[in-house]
Amino acid sequence: MPRFQLQTNVSESKITPEFLKSTVQVVADMLGRSKEQVSVHVQGDQKICIGDTDGLSGIATLKSFGPHSDKDNKKYSIAICGHLNKTLGIPPNRVKIHFMAVTPSEIGTNNTTLHYILGGKD
Active site residues: 2
| 8 φ, ψ (degrees, to nearest 5) | -145, 155
Alpha helices in 1-122 (DSSP H): 17-31, 70-88, 114-117
| Nearest by Cα to 42 from 4, 96, 83 | 4
* Cα 115 from Cα 103, distance rounded (Å): 8
